Structure 1
Amino acid sequence: MVSDLYAMTFKAAATQDDIIGEMMNPDIFQYGDEAMHAWMEGRLSDDIVAEQHKVEKAELIIFQFPLYWFSVPAILKGWIDRVLTQGFAFSPQKFYDNGVFKDKKAMLSFSTGATQSMYRPDGINGDINVALWPLQNGTLHFCGFQVLAPHIFWSPIYCPVEVRTAMLEGWRARLRGLMSEKSLTFAPSEFFDLSFKGGFTMWPKLKEKQKSEMYGLTTGHHLGKPLPPDNQLKALPECESN
């Protein structure tokens, strides 16, 4: 199944029009709360419901886009904001590795305007792993998805035809074995004190243990140490992920 958001003229802005019927609190419009209740009561707009049905059926979701301003285009951000509503995609009890979509896979496949060297730790744009963390951890992993390593088409507009052809052939080859790939490694929920008293922070014993490690735990949980190389670009062998 394909959702061509531009062809669909998918609405990017999350507004009151997404809610059918009366608002729960008409005096103060809070989109997240209203969308959650509308989802529970079957009152979301038809375009959102149609996309949610696709997500429910999918074993794997590939987000295909050009990298805009180190993120996704507005229309795809709108899809994320509107389709991945609370209740449907996450809840206070179901998030990260205990998330709603923990039995599904997801991945980013995108093109860049800049070259690969520009997105290295010593490149002018900085480490691509840092740019990918909000999308791969904060969106996909947060909803429970098993996140596969991204597929990046580096600066295709400036490549000769034969290089672009090779890019597509490499993508076709990868697609054939995609479902058997190992997912990226993220810090498991049990590493954190999941209480308001504990502040949802890492257990002190784990933080102390991490002091002896060469690198931080993940791109986001670096704990002041050097970032683990390519943490958001490749799956680690089993022996390295523990």
Structure 2
Amino acid sequence: MNVLIVYAHPEPKSLNGSLKDFSVKRLERAGHVVQVSDLYAMNWKASLDADDFPGRQAGARFDPSLDSKHAFENGSQSQDIALEQEKLRWADAVILQFPLWWFSMPAILKGWVERVYAYGFAYGVGEHSDTRWGERYGEGTLAGKRAMLVVTTGGWESHYGPRGINGPIDDILFPIQHGILYYPGFDVLPPFVIYRTSRIDEAKYAEARDALGQRLDALGTTAPIPFLPQNGGAYRIPALTLRDEIAPGRTGFAAHVA
């Protein structure tokens, strides 16, 4: 497979840096072709703004969605955006690796999503009617590709358990896994999460590394999270609410998983 790792950590000698290097070697040893977008090393511009669309009319009101659409359709996006889109087209599988900072991804990675996921590339595609509401949530430009999160966090695993004070890890990651990855069509694999990173010694590092290696070995075969597809009959269109017979009595994030 072609594997793209989008990596967001500012310190190459960190736990994340070591695991990223390990992942590249493990995947290449298994015969995969790997590219890495190391966002801090690339000095990636995080903010989406008018400078991303050099072809737009000077002095015109900036509309992020419409300017993105026009630039994507006319090949006038900034070069760094276009290059990342080409990597996504090339990839069979994408790994987003990052530390969990303030219950989400680092700003530089969020900025990668906001800038690379252009209108017409990752959203705003497909028919919008009374029977379909675009190609998204299980369909879309990136359908047929796999994606997985590799996440580190300082909190204990119990802190992110079903009754943990931080909230369940599946809920915290839902906006990323369902909203950023499943939305444009990825098959999203269960995340690989390392907890209590400040207490990782050599023995625990070896344990985490080996567990990650097993997940990477199964990158092409692991069953994805069974999110409900938008246009598969589970949702009323155009309201996009679950039908009464789907997950009766359940609300929130969990209701959207079969």
1:79 matches 2:112: yes
CA distance in 1, matches of 2:178, 2:74: 29
Unaligned runs of 5+ in 2: 1-34, 126-133
Question: What residue number does 2:255 align with?
Answer: 221
Closer, same or farther: CA 209–157 of 1 in aligned 2, 3 Å? closer
Match of residue 43 from structure 1? 76
Show CA shifts across 1:9-38 (max 9, x none).
Answer: 000000111002124x95431112101110
The residue number in structure 2 matching 1:66 is: 99
Q: CA deviation at 1:208?
A: 4.1
8 Å contact from structure 2 (residues 147, 187) kept in 1? yes
Q: Work out which of the residue numbers 56, 62, 74 in structure 2 matches 1:29.
A: 62
Indicate yes or no: 2:46 matched with 1:5: no
1:136-164 deviations in Å (ceiling 9; x for gaps): 11111111100011000112222222111
Corresponding residue to 2:156 among 109, 115, 140: 115
Q: TM-score, normalised by structure 1?
A: 0.83
Q: Which one has more relative contact order, counting CA pairs under 8 Å at least 6 apart?
A: 2
Q: Scaled by the length of structure 2, what TM-score is found?
A: 0.78
Asked whether the 8 Å contact 1:97–1:144 carries over to 2, the reply is yes
Matching of residues 1-242 of structure 1 within 5 Å? 1-23=35-57, 26-92=59-125, 93-189=134-230, 190-195=233-238, 199-203=239-243, 207-208=244-245, 210-211=247-248, 216=250, 219-221=253-255, 241=258
The alpha-carbon deviation at position 209 of structure 1 amounts to: 5.6
Q: Is the 8 A contact 2:187 2:224 kept in 1?
A: yes
8 Å CA contact retained: 1:187, 1:217: no
Which blocks of at least 5 consecutive residues in structure 1 are unaligned? Answer: 223-230, 232-240
| Distance in structure 2 (CA, Å) of the matches to 1:146 and 1:105 | 5
CA distance in 2, matches of 1:209, 1:87: 31
Shift of 1:60: 0.2
Give 4+ residue runs of structure 1 displaced > 4 Å after superposition: none
Moved more, 147-156 or 3-12: 147-156
Displacement of 1:193: 2.0
Between Structure 1 and Structure 2, the one with more strand by share is 2
| Alignment partners' CA distance in 1, 2:138 and 2:211 | 30
| Closer/same/farther in 2, CA of residues 104 and 26 from structure 1, 3 Å limit | farther
Question: Does structure 2 conserve the Cα–Cα contact (< 8 Å) formed by 1:187 and 1:218?
Answer: no
Secondary structure of the 1:98 match is: coil
Cα drift, residue 121 of structure 1? 2.1
Kindly, what percent of the aligned residue pairs are identical? 36
CA contact (8 A) 2:98 2:152 kept: yes
Distance in 2, Cα, partners of 1:121 & 1:186: 19
Residue in structure 2 matched with residue 226 of structure 1 by the alignment: none
Q: Which amino acid aligns with 2:235?
A: F
Whole-Å separation in 1 of the counterparts to 2:252 and 2:219: 23
Write the distance in 2 (CA, Å) between the matches of 1:53 and 1:127.
34
Change (3 A) 1:156 1:182: same
Deviations 1:117-137 (A, max 9, x none): 111122121211111111111
Paired residue total: 214
**Superimposed CA distance per residue, residues 168-207 of structure 1 (whole angstroms, 9 cap, x where no aligned partner):** 1111122112111111011222211222xxx22223xxx1
